[in-house]
Chain A
């Protein structure tokens, strides 16, 4: 019981600490642009004031907004997000504007998307005063998540980009609905776990080998939600949409949340073995899945990498038949190796060698130019963000908020792992983006929405409890 007490956060505001950290994050963004400009073009970036004014102004506005509407929020959330977002903008500026080639995207677009995302952030912090109201609609949330995930499958609406069918064409712009489906799914899972927690955690069937109890398995009927989740992740996402990243992300988030709710490792063992079992079984039958695994395992073989020699001489080499090669992955690894400990300095490397470096592989651009030292800062920032989220979960009094906050922080952490693991060849390449950093409006907006939810929840967790109205007659009224 005393544990529950010590996890509560002291009711302090600490907005000035946030302001100082925020100013430092903005300064780092501008410093990064100046460094890139000086290194590449030998001059201060001409757009420095535009970017500094807009980005800094937006971040400071968000800070003032928090001061008024969520004064007890955690002081680190906004500065960490600003740092990551700012580093992303600076890197995109260095990749596009500083090289004079803005055909693949530009930092200005990213700046506009950041502004839009911050508006979304402010809207959520302002309108969602009590995140627990989301608890009322778990099944609508689940339906919403499924619809969002399936939207790209509708002919005419869905678009396939880089082999993954995860985009929706809205005419003026394209959206990646799976980014928002994640949040809806976490909301559903949090609400669902609150109602089903006791059943999922208490009822069990021991599995014994001789006299020793090896594992406590849940009853068959309690496994239904996991079976549904598993089937959905495997069939829809992997087979139909080739969206391995989202599939892995959603299923592991589900496992993490069920573990948080029940504290039973048997769920994780069961879930992981089901997921990997399915992947192993599917491996020979789903060609695009096999392609991904081969480009991961044999990335350095000439047949997979597609050297000029192979293209010229061989018609049945892997990369020719599969239509995919491992050049992006291998070039990315070379870029990371080139960076070494201290990196080449922003603007000093050649990140352009990595195809599509502005999306998933922006991490390798950071690795090349900032080195291990700089990349560790990025990882630390992501880790601290996830840590603050878990802290909010610990400090909150309500079960739903605990589940919700831990789900969101796990999502941030695991998404970073999926991307960076893919880029560094720890796991097969999937198609996810580092939160806040990579180019892309949907990813940015969903990251800021998650941040808004965390800010709101931390404010409510830290806020001192309201003083109770004096109870005149001590009549016992039991309310449920």
Chain B
């Protein structure tokens, strides 16, 4: 085996080693920022439709909730369509969903979308927000059908 061949094999081996590391970093990158789009595609997209907000990444998913429904309490039956905007629930006039409930605080809880997942957060209410049977102490991801209780009002996400 000539020295040149061995030299080339050596360099090829080192290159493959680094290829592994670069691919590994690529996998981590996808974890952080979502799947990469190629430069050409991105450029084309920018040219044709500048500044259009990104379409919801997980549209068409089976478990994507579409509306927030009040199932119990004075407002039972009320339905709110979900958009990407956060929903504030409380007695305050400027809340998205104004509930007339003596046990609710002014700005009681917030429901918002975190990259396609819906999350409920208690905004420091007096009587607390309950997800299922547990009082929220920190934001919790929500799934379809899980009851959120605020005072006497019960809400849930529906498809």
Contacts and interface: CB of A to CB of B under 8 A. Distances in A.
B27 A75 contact: yes
B31 A9 contact: yes
The interface size bin for chain A is 35 or more
Of B25, B31, B72, B131, chain A has the most CB atoms within 10 Å of the CB of: B31
Interface residues of B, number: 42
A476 B16 contact: no
Contacts of A471: 132-133, 147
Interface of A: 1-2, 4-6, 8-10, 14, 17, 20-21, 24-25, 27-28, 31-32, 34-35, 38-39, 42, 75-76, 79-80, 83, 342-343, 345-346, 348, 370-371, 373-374, 377, 380-381, 384, 387-388, 464-465, 467-468, 470-471, 474, 476-477, 479
A28 B17 contact: yes
Interface in B1-42: 1, 6-7, 9-14, 16-21, 23-25, 27-28, 30-31
B146 interface: yes
Contacts of B13: 28, 31-32, 35, 345-346, 370, 374
Contacts of B12: 31
Given A21-B27, A477-B133, A38 B6 contact: yes
Given A21-B24, A374-B14, A474-B149, A38 B1 contact: yes
Contacts of B20: 21, 24-25, 28, 79, 83, 377, 381
Interface stretch (B44-52, B75-83, B90-98, B135-143): B135-143
A474 B154 contact: yes
A344 B3 CA distance: 11
A342 B31 contact: no
A80 B141 CA distance: 31
A75 B139 CA distance: 27
A171 to B, nearest CB: 40
A1 B138 contact: yes
Contacts of B72: 474
A378 B6 CA distance: 22
24 contacts: A1-B139, A2-B139, A14-B27, A17-B27, A24-B23, A31-B13, A31-B16, A39-B1, A79-B20, A345-B9, A345-B13, A373-B18, A374-B14, A377-B17, A377-B18, A380-B21, A381-B21, A381-B24, A384-B24, A384-B25, A387-B28, A468-B147, A474-B154, A476-B130
